[in-house]
Structure 1
Amino acid sequence: MDRSEVVTLCPVCGGKVQLTHDDKVNRCEYCGSPMLGPSQNRDCVNHPGRLAKGVCRVCGDLVCEECMEQRVGDYGGKLLTVVNCRKADCVSASSWAQPLNREYMRLTNMDWADRVDSVIFRLAGIGGLLFMVFELFFILAMVYVQFFTSWGMANIPRLFIPGDVIVTLGILGNLLSAVILQTALQTYVHDRQFGSGGILLASLVLEVAFLLFRGLAYGLLQYPDPRLPWFLLLSFLLATVLAFVGALGALAVGYKKRRQVRTARLRLGLAV
């Protein structure tokens, strides 16, 4: 079989890796993580006959526990453990990650939150996405009311030309919904979860107030067909409830994680 056709998945990022080398390290083209060749010698490069325990992420050498350093750093919002050998260049190239403190890692292990983090991310993310869809539909609906109904031409305010108020406020609404969506996506990151939850909650308050302001400014309570205001209101409430629950979850879980980290650092005598 052609070696270029042998493909596996990177254990770090999940990307596809072509195993082009049988007897030496192959690298993931997405994150650069090393992967052993199928027939590669598994011994430590410095101690023949001693089984290697890791692969240097920089040079690709196989090393035993005596010859390697384990480090931990942030990768996509999650803690990633990497290995480097003790050559000066490899140590320097891995300086973005901190030397592994096993006791600290044990005390700050947050595997308990994986499932609830996933739920929070889905709730907040879907809510944020619905806000984007809602804002798009809202501005289109208001443009229709403004230009294609006699009620809209007579009741919706304007500054200079018909529709200028709708477009201006619609742009602001879309910007605010974009902030909500971006913040919602940050609720999955451990060290940003608590702050993201707070920002998301504040953004929701602004979004609710801004929608009420626009509804009153457009006079939607007096719109002849009550189905449109009710549809807009129910759609908005659905997005708000999802994002609100996600924000509260992010605040609660994020605060618990902060306390866990603080307790671990105090226990080990590290700077808080």
Structure 2
Amino acid sequence: MSDVRKVSAGAGAEWLLGGFGLLRKAPAGLLATGAVLGLVTGLPLLLAEAAPGMFLGLQALIMLLTPVLLGGFVFAMHQVDRDGAASPAHLLEGFRNGRTLPLMAQLVPQIAFGVAAVLLLVLMVGVDQLQTLAAAMEAAQGQANPDPEVFAGLPAGRLLLWMLLVIALVIAVYFYTFVASPQIMLEGRPAFAAMARSFRACLRNLPAMLVFILLTLVVAVLMSVAAQVVGALFGLVGGVLVGALIGQIALMAVLMPVVIGSIYTAWSQMLAPGAGGAIDRSTASSGIEL
């Protein structure tokens, strides 16, 4: 871990404050960038009922492209940090500079997590018990106060252990991808090397990570409540789907600049080459090495 700088536990709070600080430096550009990202990721909501087939296809496409768009958001943050301007056009920077495949490679740990979670569930609980659980949940759906006997005989202990293992896997995946995007976008580092380095940085600075995660969850909940209120107001006029889309855009417009700015700040403190997160242009090539 010699290439990872050690920071104090309080740095987790500094990362979040850094995200707010970058937003204050260029509020118009970053809010607009977050809103456009929210619009793109929320578009499938409009097709959920009208065209379920297209909904699934569009959802899959957006899932593939989201890491690239987030990489562009990181680039926008770097521009703001250098006293430049941010705009929604920066979201496409990952497509323009040859970082598309490395950024998309960050989906590999997430896909592996999904496969591992399903396999663990089948191995630990069993197919027959899962069928019983599905039947019990279906029977309890229409009941205001479900009968506890419906769930009698289910392997509660193994289900709890599975949930704990899934939580551990989620944290591991998050550590692998936490500061991978800035390394790929701003250092030109190969994807899997960036993810391994991100994991090492999170482990070495575990107290700071715990502080950051807890504070970010609190901020995200508060912003989500505010966005739901906004969405509900628009929903009274435009309908439920329109309200949900407006709520998504409102949430992403504010939350994403703060979160991406926090990640950029964390990278700057733990991993960035040189002072202030300067790009090492000798490694910032336009290749697609993974």
Q: Please give the range of the TM-score, normalised by the shorter of the 2 chains.
A: under 0.3
TM-score relative to the length of structure 2: 0.26
Relative to its length, the structure with more helix (as a share) is 2
Q: Which has the larger radius of gyration?
A: 1
Relative to its length, the structure with more strand (as a share) is 1
Higher normalized contact order (CA 8 Å, seq sep 6+, divided by chain length): 2
